[in-house]
Structure 1
Amino acid sequence: MSFRSFVRSHAGRVTLTAIPVALAVSLLGAGVAQGAVPVSFSVSGSQFQIAASSLEGTGFSQYAGVAKDTAGKSHPVAIANIASATLHDLCQSVVSETPLGKVGVLITAGGGDRPASASDLQIGMTGLKGDSSFEHIRIGVDASTVNTQAKGMAGDFAQDADTVKITNLQQTAWSTQASVFTLTGMKLQLTDGSKQCF
């Protein structure tokens, strides 16, 4: 079975697994077609963590896709799009192996009454945990007809909603991007890799 066939035949399973957990969150606006994520860059060889005490967004969709790294390796992902999002107590962390050992980067933002915000947010993720609620959700729509600018492949399983809210968000991802990402009170730290978002 080819990788493309694997992704298409398992798209429903990936999505259904995400539904009870929370589905969603973070990255890219226009130009995503054919279920490819992302169009504008190759992903690194490291996944990263994103956490937030709460995420609230409008214009949500989610479907299966593929992220490719610079070596040409394909990684199956669940793609989540949010047209406009606010994130409270945002945390992002990644750990990389270097000749000097493990090196981590930890970024925090959006604390207190000054949440971080993003427009045209899209994320290519492999795991998501949290408590979620949706308004006017449609489950089982064709990925090419979701109500967001970014869309998936025709015939693939997808879902969309007018609004999404996720509390106690924990997410593992290959990619994240947005047309505008405002990180209020941003703090960046280099670590030994032992301190991550969750």
Structure 2
Amino acid sequence: MESFINYLQSHNLSAHSIDSLVSSANPEAFKKGEFVLRQGEVCRHKVFVEKGLLRTFGLTTDGNEHILQFSPENTWTLDVESYDRQIPALYNISAIEKTDVLIWERNDFERLRSELPELQSLSQQLISRNIYNSRHRLLTALGETPEQKYENFVHTSGDLLSRLPLRMIASFLGISLKTLTRIRKAQLHRQSK
């Protein structure tokens, strides 16, 4: 839990708030490919990634996967609509690699949020950041070329490149694997000159 404590300290939470959050957290480990949440289940947990990498994705009726988000170390994840409204999730969350997480039951986390103004403030910051990131991602998806999408991904998430299969990067960017391979090959060609 050391990385989680460091994370909370970096957000200036008091020792009391940190102790409350840590004492109510349930550590869990997920193997590569294991699901944290399956589409159709109700999301009843907040999840913090201590070590590893998760992906949030949906499946179309024809079986195509569309990745909405990657959640590496020191990030939170959940299906927000399912969590807030307690309805079946539209998305899956699964481990891309062995992943250690901390999990809070919904009732416990909401109680902590009401008792700890610092946690309420951190939650609001995270919600605002997620809204900004989602809007930026939507604008990128609608208005940028595949090359620009890839460059933006390299700029914002370059540390994930070596941890992700190309097919997942392509799915996240909304482009075909063939297009991504072409872009990367052209980029390598330019760099070798």
Same fold judged by TM-score > 0.5?
A: no
Instruction: Name whichever structure is richer in strand by fraction.
Output: 1
Structure 1 length normalisation: TM-score? 0.23
**Greater relative contact order (Cα < 8 A, sep 6+):** 1
